[in-house]
Amino acid sequence: MKWRVVQDQHELARTAAKMLLDALDEDPQIVLGLPTGGTPAGMYAQTVGECRVARHCFELATTFNLDEYVGIARDDPASYCSYMRTHLFDHVDIAPERIHVPDGLATSVRQQHPALSLDEALELECVKYEEAIQRAGSLQLTFLGIGRNGHIGFNEPGTPFDSRTRVVQLAESTRKANARYFPGREVPTRAITMGIGTILDSAAIILLASGEGKAEAIRRLSHDEPHPDFPASALLRHHDVTVIVDQAAAKFR
């Protein structure tokens, strides 16, 4: 695991965006795994700024998002699909057919198989998501954030390291942390997430962490042995992981 400690969230955003843009330069047809949430927002803003100048950054790239809430429509402002459009996809030259975000309503699966219950359709949605990643030739570079409890994607503590894309129950602490995205509404209790095994198949992984709230998780990532109680520790088993942390998140390292 390679570590880069940067000054603050601004330097984190610049550093991560440069790594993303360098990877796109090196292989314009790259297959990317992408996160949402507060941490990568600066990276996306920086990337969009650069791509306005360079223009063809994402033309041939393929993207797979890590996760999406169950029961939330794609065009709901709180969906991760909307997040990605707002922060990245609407501002770069990516081809819509090469964007992949799990559908928390499994809409097209339910249209194709009207007899399926929602849960059965979601299960099939997850299988199809894994298949789409395989068809694209598997992930080459995946960016991750980290939850305070060590989750990556929405793989909460206790997740087996060989898990694949599936529907999961969100931890109460995760629902609380994300309540800010659901003003006046209940935070969904379930999500679709790539599994830890899916993430570990990525050729390279870059994990981003910013702010004191992540300091304890970063301490555990630097000191703990791999254990499912702390999902991010699965990354210790991967040969090409870079962790970029700002000084606040690196406080207890």
> Residue 149's closest CA among 199, 66, 80, 213?
213
Nearer to ligand F6R, 38 or 228 (CB): 38
Nearest-approach distance from CB 129 to ligand F6R, in angstroms? 14
67 is catalytic: yes
Nearest-approach distance from CB 174 to ligand F6R, in angstroms? 6
149 is catalytic: yes
Nearest-approach distance from CB 113 to ligand F6R, in angstroms? 27
| Position of minimal CB gap to ligand F6R | 145
Nearer to ligand F6R, 31 or 42 (CB): 42
Nearer to ligand F6R, 31 or 101 (CB): 101
Nearer to ligand F6R, 38 or 157 (CB): 38
Catalytically annotated residue among 87, 103, 130, 151: 151
Residues that bind ligand F6R (CB under 6 A): 35-39, 66-67, 145-147, 151-153
Active site amino acids: 67, 149, 151, 156
